[in-house]
Amino acid sequence: GGTGGSGAPEGGLEGRKGSRIPRWLVKVGVAVLLIAIPGGIFTWYKFFRQVPQPEWITSDPAQNFLYGSIGAEAQAGLPYWIVVVLPRIFDDYLPGPGGYASLGLPWEEGKELPAGFSKKTVGFERVGFNCALCHATRYRTVPDETPTVVPAGGSHTADIQGLLEFFSRAADDPRFGAETILTQIDMAYPLSWVDRMLYKFVYIPLTRKRLREQGEDFAWAHERPDWGPGRDAPMNLTKFNFLGLERDNSVDNTDFPSLWNLRKRVQPGRVWPEDDMSLTADWSKLEIDPSRLMLMNLDGATTSYRSVIIDSALGLQAENTEFFRRRMRELEDWLMTLPPPDYPLSVDEALAERGEAVFEERCAGCHAAGRENSLGTVIPLSEIGTDPERARAWT
């Protein structure tokens, strides 16, 4: 007397060892998959999908420097439309008309964002920051001329502390909410229902939280002299915000330097070998005095251009990815031979000749590139007579 059939017992599915899987559990599993798969696709598409920047940026080294991504958008990028409308809502927290331009940020005519702002889609359109925020200069030869923006110059007009304070003051204001921000966005661009809900319940609250935290992280700057246009506090930023060291009373406000012609500043035997990609070296094979090299880090400065570029980019919260490492090498290669712009005005040859003589007498011993001089060496403060605060900030 067999059963006359070989189907699974009623009420469940037969497992390998005769155990039964209840039909209801199978149905639940299928339902979960039907929800999880579309949900996963939606989450990837709206939060993690990366779209390359347009070719007009990525194919031109100068435009890539000014507006290209260094990989900071995913970790620290702000929602694009929030960045766009904040100056319209909180213009009372800006020094004058013109939005971000009122903070002295170089802004080319026809561009949607200032130099140093990188727009990239990582799930949604985000705005990160890149090297040009501090290293893009501008000039005009007559007062009413449209400014010329030059990549890799020192951003001598940019008020970076003012930009940080603008963001944190806006985040502390009751107007920083979904109703006000979405009303302003609606005036510029019609969001889809899904994007509107994401802005209302995700992007706006998280952005406000992040900007408030940023304001708290930079509270130490209020206890010191303002950085001023074209300056920041590089050592204290590193000490307090990234290394978590105890706060002291040091003041290290420093001008943004130009980054042109880095190769001309290389002094054999005084800088780290740039062909050593890992920033480690076998000292027995280097024509360099390691004690002399390390001395040059007394004020926190480094003797490796690659290290400067990488550290600065990581300070903008770029992620250490293969894209990031490739961009850092591209930037270094480009900056090594990038010439400064031609002087835009006529040169008084007699005055230039007098200036050259003054430079040779007073400056060349430390600052003339390509010579056997003191460039790249440590000079005691008692001898050089400069402000000791920068050295004190680190040592």
Q: Is 334 exposed, middle or buried (0-12, 13-18, 19+ CB in 10 A)?
A: middle
What does the pLDDT look like over 333-391, one tens digit per residue?
999 999 999 999 999 999 999 999 999 999 998 888 777 777 767 778 888 888 888 88
DSSP 223-276: GS----TTEE-HHHIIIIIIS-PPP------EEPPP-TTGGGG--TTTS--TT-
Instruction: Tell me if 20 sits within 8 A of 11, measured CB to CB.
Output: yes
What does the pLDDT look like over 88-144, one tens digit per residue?
999 999 999 999 999 999 999 999 999 999 999 999 999 999 999 999 999 999 999
Is residue 241 scored above 70 in pLDDT? yes
pLDDT-derived band at 1, boundaries 50, 70, 90: very low
This prediction has a pTM of 0.85
Instruction: Tell me if 127 sits within 8 A of 77, measured CB to CB.
Output: yes
Which comes out higher in pLDDT, residue 124 or 320?
Answer: 124
Which comes out higher in pLDDT, residue 52 or 394?
Answer: 52
Provide the 3-class DSSP secondary structure of residue 346.
coil
Count other C-beta atoms under 10 Å from residue 328's C-beta: 21
Interval 305-317 mean pLDDT: 83
Which comes out higher in pLDDT, residue 204 or 377?
Answer: 204
Is residue 300 scored above 60 in pLDDT? no
Distance (Å, whole) CA 175 – CA 209: 14
Residues 172, 174, 175, 181: what is their CA dihedral angle, to the nearest 10 degrees?
Answer: 80
How many residues are listed for the chain in this entry? 395
- Mean pLDDT of the residues in the chain: 87
Which comes out higher in pLDDT, residue 72 or 309?
Answer: 72
